[in-house]
Amino acid sequence: MKKTPSSSTLGPEGLDIAQSFFKPIQHSSPPPLTTRTTKITVVGVGNVGMAIAQTILTQGLANELALVDVNSDKLRGEKLDLQHAAAFLPRTNITASVDYSNTVGSDLVIVTAGARQIVGESRLNLLQRNVSLFRKVIPPLAERSPDGILLVVSNPVDVLTYVAWKLSGFPSNRVIGSGTNLDSSRFRFLIADHLDLNAQDVQAYIVGEHGDSSVALWSSISVGGVPILSFLERQQIAYEKQTLEKIHKEVVEGAYEVISLKGYTSWAIGYSVASLARAILRDQRSIHPVSVLAKGFYGIHGGEPFLSLPAQLGRSGVLGVTNVHLTEEEEKQLQKSAKTILELQAQLGI
């Protein structure tokens, strides 16, 4: 791990006190010339980027954390603020730069940078502005970390993950969107709240677009390993479809509610992305609903849409897509979601 410029000049006349402070034990070998470290880059130090950075630090997911943004003052301020918490955190080397020089050799590059929607602006126009931004951001990141994994968080996340894939030249398994990982967390929370139990005991997925056309996989929900809908049917417990649709609506509108109340979302997406970083960098091979190249799955054959499917994540990125059983209605809804995304992708000229 690199030292900060001041760490080797604390002694009188620039004496490197690290050499004097520690005395090596006898018959020891010199340290290896190369050591394996884990490096994460976060592009964009807004509310979302910093919530992700802070969560990564507190969970000790990286030896090195590189921050990139166009605002040099805010960038330096955020770096110093994090560094000043060093006594309370796992040891991490934090760097910050307005260019991409400090991102070299990143294992994982998390992109949160994006243009904000102007009042009255169409979704397509916002998307085009973000595509222009990605044309400047993605190629230099890919060039400096050719073996890394790209994790896109910027919205609209599905289409921008497709853009990042095209601009980076990376194989599809190494370009991932945060997708509906957070939507699924909201889904699990609402179901758990409804049943008065821990959300960690609920297995439930939102798939498809991270947006209005997302699909709730009610047929595959289980609680403590028990498939919930089939359990209700076996016990002859009546439930209304409207109740299920209401919960899904709450999931879709959850982000809008948070934004209307506090102005932005941050903490939940921070934990969501950190969970993806942990799964990837620690090769946990856990399943997360993230935005991946969906061609060939669940009857999606036309074009190259990126949308969320339950995917197994590990050190090489997406290891595979889980063969979750979908009802005929759910599969049709997922195909409709893919069509919505494809219509946007077709207008990008990439």
The residues carrying an active-site annotation are: 210
Handedness of CA 85, 86, 91, 92 (dihedral sign): positive
Residues 56/274, Cβ–Cβ less than 8 Å? yes
Burial of 224 (0-12, 13-18, 19+ CB in 10 A): exposed
Among 155, 168, 165, 110, CA closest to 306: 165
Give dist(CA 301, CA 335) in Å, integer.
9
Q: Which residues participate in the annotated binding site for NAD(+)?
A: 44-49, 69, 130, 153-155
Phi-psi region of 283 (alpha: psi -120 to 50; beta: other; left: phi over 0): left
Determine the Cα–Cα distance for residues 264 and 292; give it in Å rounded to an integer.
Answer: 26
Which 3 state secondary structure label does DSSP give 78?
helix
CA distance 81 to 76: 9
Say what the alpha-carbon torsion angle 222, 239, 195, 201 is, to the nearest 10 degrees.
0
Q: Which amino acid is at 139?
A: P
Q: Which two tokens stand for residue 193?
A: 């709240």
- In b/e form, how buried is each residue of 144-174, taking b as 16+ CB within 10 angstroms? bbeebbbbbbbbbbbbbbbbbbbbbebebbb
